[in-house]
Amino acid sequence: MKDKTTILIIVTYGILLSAVSILLNDIREFNFSQFEEFQNWAKTADKNEHWFTTKNAIKWSFYAISAGLFFWRAYLLYAFTYFISILKEIEKGNYFSTKNSGYFKKIANIFIYYTINVLILRFLLASIGKSSFNFLQEFKSEFTFLIPCGLAFYILAEVFERAKKSEEENELTI
């Protein structure tokens, strides 16, 4: 079991590192294209113009929302670090610890928050860009599967809590 856990930890680290490198590359590309465009616009923009004119608001919002999407992606990657924590607990032999059920709840929270927030940001981006936003179409995209995943992790957290109680009862049965 310990060997399998070690392999799983290594695999999880591999996935996490590759996901982080992809995210960093995307941020770099975003900096090259969007940020330069945004800076150029900021240089030429009329300083006397009120901040909340339609044009200014659109530019600022578009940039802020695009940056916000990166933040949520990083937050999702943070959830994967909890998988490593769970695997380390299992490696120690603490299968049904309070920590594990807590980690599962945290992962579930992050998955659900991520999906809801990305949906909101995508909706805002679509409304700023005046492109169409089909809610049902968005729900068909891959990342929305994180909601049932999150709910499954909530169930798993409950199962682990119940298992911990059963384990305690079993240990205190003489």
Rounded Cα distance, 32 and 172, in Å:
62
Neighbours of 161 (CB within 10 A): 17
Binding of other proteins by 36 (CB under 8 A): no
With contacts defined by CB under 8 A, name the span among 21-29, 75-83, 96-104, 164-172 that binds other proteins: 164-172
Q: Are 58 and 128 in contact (CB under 8 A)?
A: yes
Nearest distance in Å: CB 90, other proteins: 25
Pair 106, 31: CB distance under 8 Å: no
Site string for other proteins, 114-153 (x = CB under 8 A): ----------------------------------------
Q: Does 168 bind other proteins (CB under 8 A)?
A: yes
Among 103, 99, 95, which Cα is nearest to 78's? 103
Binding mask 43-82 for other proteins (x = CB under 8 A): ----------------------------------------
Q: What is the DSSP letter of 141?
A: S
List residues near other proteins by CB under 8 A.
Answer: 168-169, 172-174
